[in-house]
Amino acid sequence: MNSTSDSTFRSMGSDIRMIIEAPLIASLPSAAAAAQRERAYVEDFARRLSRFRQDSELCALNADPAQEVAASLLLRTAVAAGLWAAQRSGGLVDPTLVGEIELVGYVESQDRSAPASLREALASAPSRASARARTDARWRQISVEHDRGTIVRPPGLRIDTGGTGKGLAADAVAHRLRGHRRFVVDCGGDIAVGGIANEFEPLSIEVEHPLSGECAHILRLSHGGVATSGLNVRIWRREDGTFAHHLLNPSDGLPVWSGLIGATAVGSSTLEAETLSKLALLSGPDGAREALAEHGGVLIHDDGDVEVIQATLRHGAGARLSLRGAA
């Protein structure tokens, strides 16, 4: 009987892949049973936090006219993760850009929609410039009150948990799988890695080049998280012929063209890696090097050049997994 489960399904607008080996304790569920349990968890997570479902808890929060709104632990945790990312990134990863992302054309889910040509978009993109945080820092007006089970924010200030949602989901599943020998949780390119077996045989993760689709670099990871932010996955042509994508400059609400088309970050958690990858891409080459200095990572420049910021974990290669650009 195969003691390893390797399953893939569609959720959160991405492919979700879970590789789970046998549990270390006999009383824990088998790898196959754990995979079924975690799929249900991710699908419930996505349903409750979707910006595109009017019946989601997130949409209900955004529509509520009260200043203080009762919220589930999941919603409070997701909003808190967005606020942490905003703080960590100096306001560049901003969870309050709902109106701005809708204005540039991202109103409905683009799940399974074919992306526009990144090469064509780069050829017609404006002058390259790093993103800047909003001067009013609207995200600072949001607070999560766990003791009261509420979220407080000015009525009408909408929140988007999508910028950190996949990393948070990967970390949550990883926590639930901590009793298994080895696990890999890939939420659309935001990957959590753990288990004692990885300490002896780290995972080799292929970073996809956003222009060629080929392997740009290999990262080796025994635990923690790795995430990629890229312009190639969610990019579209607007009615006026210009191109837009989902990574916005908070200061003007427009898609950022920073000189980078991809950034992969390593972190102590997947949420941290996801935040750092977005921070790097939004910051442009110079800021990205600083953003990735602590844990290391990979930058892909507009001209296709690949820059490895820092040596990654120096362990022997183990299993291999392709890492595509994430939202």
Segment (H or E) for 254: strand 254-255
Total structural domains in the chain? 1
Q: How many CB atoms lie within 10 A of CB 226?
A: 33
For 64-129, the DSSP string reads: --SSEEE--HHHHHHHHHHHHHHHHTTTSS-TT-HHHHHHTT--S--TTPPPPPHHHHHHH-----
pLDDT in tens, 191-217: 999 999 988 889 999 999 999 999 999
Which SS3 state, helix, strand or coil, does residue 20 take?
strand
Entry pTM: 0.92
Q: Measured between alpha carbons, how far is residue 131 from residues 71, 235, 287 in Å?
A: 32, 18, 10
For residue 68, what are the domain limits? 5-323
The stretches in the chain having pLDDT less than 70 are: 1-2, 311-327
pLDDT in tens, 132-163: 999 999 999 999 999 999 999 999 999 999 99
Phi, psi of 167 (to 5 degrees): -65, -40
CATH code, domain carrying 189: 3.10.520.10
pLDDT at 112: 74
Which SS3 state, helix, strand or coil, does residue 195 take?
coil
For 150-186, the DSSP string reads: EEE--TT-----HHHHHHHHHHHHHHHTTTBS-EEEE
Contact at 8 Å (CB) between 53 and 44? Answer: no
Phi, psi of 225 (to 5 degrees): -135, 160
pLDDT at 288: 97
The two structure tokens encoding residue 178: 């901590």
pLDDT in tens, 246-276: 999 999 999 999 999 999 999 999 999 999 9
pLDDT at 211: 96
